[in-house]
A and B are shown apart, each in its own frame.
Chain A
Amino acid sequence: MNGRNLSATPTLTGRAGALFHRYANPGRFLRLGDRMQPWLTWPALVLTLVGLGWGLFFSPADWQQGDSVRIMYVHVPCAWLASSGYFALVVCSVLSLVWRHPLADLAAVEIGPVGACVTAVCLATGSLWGKPMWGTWWVWDARLTSVLVLFFLYLGHIALIRAFDDPQRGYRAAAILALAGGVDLPIIKFSVQWWNTLHQPDSITLTGAPTMSHSMLWPLAISTLGFTLGFAAIVVARLRAGVMESRIRALLSSPRRARDAATEQAA
């Protein structure tokens, strides 16, 4: 096989890179984001309200937990999004470090704060459930502690990305932190199996039937879908704004354009 044949056969990495770079063009992404935004926002709003309303007013109380089980319809979607949001951050880090994808860096900047907020809500709602059920706001349980570590990883990512004068260095350092922190995700997932925890084991698994009643499973599934679409809608909106801000910075960094802008502002 000669060199020409080698170059004519795209590698898996090359093909994947070409696919990802299709949306590296900010203009193309903004057009796609414009079209996607209503399809994410409105279903998110409807599904979240239906799921939470169903969970709060129509789903049955648990025989053991009573009405406190209704906190689950908020807590579980947040827990799911805390982990999957961080997984998205890990994917962005790979795209950034391997393919130098410009939108991956901007996406990581925007996912971080939203993920941190969702993780904070997950921890807070867990505490609000723990107080009436366990009699305490917090225990240093493996599941709770690993989610707290995830929250600190989000905060570290946010801080690191803004810690350098050169944004590229910040993106790179934060991507490495996100990749290293990815090890926390399997720990969160399997903590209830690996250690004897106060936190209950998973009620929904990929391999087995759910261990909860369908009258609770449906509102939980709907609110989880609504929260997920809402998370995506907020991240896409922030990312669109981030791309526009990057364009504004590029315009202002040109001396001629800066002069034009100054003239415009004076006018």
Chain B
Amino acid sequence: MTHLPYILASYGLALGVALVLSIGAALRLRRDRARLASLEAARGGTPRRGQAGGSA
């Protein structure tokens, strides 16, 4: 397989980018969920999973 480096680079690049995007989205989601929950709690309301009634 003389083309192995090209094949491995293609698969590595695609999986690497997918991994970075997935981890980035998961971390952002976790951070925002925690921040929203703390703000809702500070407001005196009960934070509920999946609730965000403000304007998007």
Contact = CB atoms under 8 A, between A and B. Distances in A.
Interface of A: 24-27, 29-31, 33-34, 48, 52, 56, 66-68, 70-71, 74-75, 78, 102-103, 105-106, 114, 117-118, 120-121, 124-125, 128-129, 131-132, 230, 233-234, 237-238, 240-241, 243-248, 250-252, 257, 260-261, 263-264
Contact of A125 (B4, B10, B51): B10
Nearest 5 CB-CB pairs, A to B? A250-B54, A247-B52, A237-B25, A264-B42, A244-B32
A125 B52 CA distance: 40
Contact of B29 (A52, A132, A237): A237
Contacts of B25: 234, 237-238, 241
A231 B2 CA distance: 32
A251 B39 contact: yes
B55 A250 contact: yes
B39 A132 contact: no
Interface in B10-26: 10-11, 13-15, 17-18, 21-22, 25-26
Contacts of A114: 21
Contacts of B2: 132
A71 B10 contact: yes
A167 to B, nearest CB: 11
A261 B14 CA distance: 41
A124 B54 contact: no
